[in-house]
């Protein structure tokens, strides 16, 4: 059984550049989540997809951030005009949505972004 | 407002000691779920347990046990006879059922770093 995969695992960029990350969820999972984790902190929710629909976005997700899940399978997270404060681990998770309940989320290895 | 507090930032024990990691949560919802995740030095979050708000039974899985008490809004995690491989950061998380579109986002605590020394 293939878990959640993320690409790239590491990204170093210069301030002002655009970056894009990819997440491939567990194949039968219809829900996909993006989180951001900085050193010494717990992950913080960014956004969530149910199939291809983006249903919730955090206030943390500024207008420089955009996420897509075009066919309800893989997802991309793009950050435009990166800032040093964007340096963090970006985590993707997926779960199987159930009516009237919440299943556990399975996390990928993350993409570590460093903005110089 | 939703909030998870893990007051213990770091805990250090010697192998074979028992250790309890505390988790206190806040929510206004009557239906919610609580989770524990382990983040080893390799970095990938590993799911340990899910518990819904209507199930207050304690759970035991091998050396791991969880104590859920709604009266004190706590969901504590105990490792019995700790081992070096238990060294990791442990996160408690809360998810409110809410409306359908809310989708179960996780609100994490700040984590407790457990160090088990041989």
Q: What's the distance, CA B106 to chain centroid?
A: 12
Question: Residues A1-43: pLDDT tens digits?
Answer: 589 999 999 999 999 999 999 999 999 999 999 999 999 999 9
What is the pLDDT, as a whole number, of residue A1? 57
CA distance B15 to B86: 9
Q: How many angstroms separate the CA of residue B49 from the nearest CA in chain A?
A: 8
What is the pLDDT, as a whole number, of residue B57? 87
A43 to B103: CB separation less than 8 angstroms, yes or no = no
Of B46, B50, B103, the CB nearest to A56: B103
A4: exposed, middle or buried (C-beta count within 10 Å: 0-12, 13-18, 19+)? buried
CA distance B104 to A20: 25
- Identify the three-state secondary structure at position B70: helix
Q: What is the DSSP secondary structure assignment for residue B72, as one 8-state letter?
A: G
Question: Residues A45-77: pLDDT tens digits?
Answer: 999 999 999 988 998 888 999 999 998 899 999
Query: Cα-flanking dihedrals φ and ψ of residue B72, to 5°?
Result: -115, 10
Of B91, B101, B105, the CB nearest to A33: B105
Q: With contacts defined as CB-CB under 8 Å, which chain B residues touch A35?
A: 106
Are A109 and A21 in contact by the 8 Å Cβ rule? The answer is no
A interface with B, Cβ–Cβ < 8 A, is 31, 33, 35, 40-45, 48, 50, 55-56, 89, 91, 93, 95, 97, 100-110
Q: Give the residue on B whose Cα is nearest the Cα of A43.
A: B108
CA distance B105 to A62: 18
Of B101, B105, B109, the CB nearest to A45: B105
**pLDDT confidence bin for B72, thresholds 50/70/90:** very high
Q: Give the residue on A whose Cα is nearest the Cα of B113.
A: A40
Q: With contacts defined as CB-CB under 8 Å, which chain B residues touch A61?
A: none
């Amino acid at each position: 059984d293939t878990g959640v995969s993320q690409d790239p695992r590491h990204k170093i960029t210069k301030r002002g550049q655009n970056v894009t990350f990819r997440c491939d969820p567990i194949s039968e999972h219809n829900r996909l989540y993006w989180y951001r984790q900085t050193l010494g902190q717990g992950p913080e929710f960014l956004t969530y997809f149910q199939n291809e629909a983006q249903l919730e976005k955090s206030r943390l997700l500024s207008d420089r951030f955009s996420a897509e899940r075009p066919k309800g399978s893989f997802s991309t997270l793009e950050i435009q005009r990166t800032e040093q404060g964007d340096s963090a681990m970006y985590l993707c998770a997926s779960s199987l949505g159930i009516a009237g309940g919440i299943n556990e989320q399975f996390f990928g290895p993350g993409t570590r972004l460093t903005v110089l | 407002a939703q909030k998870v507090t893990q007051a213990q930032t770091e805990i250090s024990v010697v192998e074979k000691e028992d250790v309890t990691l505390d988790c206190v949560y806040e929510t206004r919802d009557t239906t919610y779920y609580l989770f524990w995740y382990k983040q080893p030095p390799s970095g990938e979050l590993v799911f340990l347990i899910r518990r819904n708000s209507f199930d207050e039974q304690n759970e035991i899985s091998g050396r791991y046990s969880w104590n859920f008490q709604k009266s004190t809004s706590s969901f504590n995690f105990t490792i019995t006879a700790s081992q070096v491989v238990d060294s990791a950061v442990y996160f408690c998380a809360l998810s409110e059922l809410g409306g359908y579109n809310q989708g179960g986002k996780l609100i994490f605590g700040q984590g407790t770093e457990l160090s088990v020394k041989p």
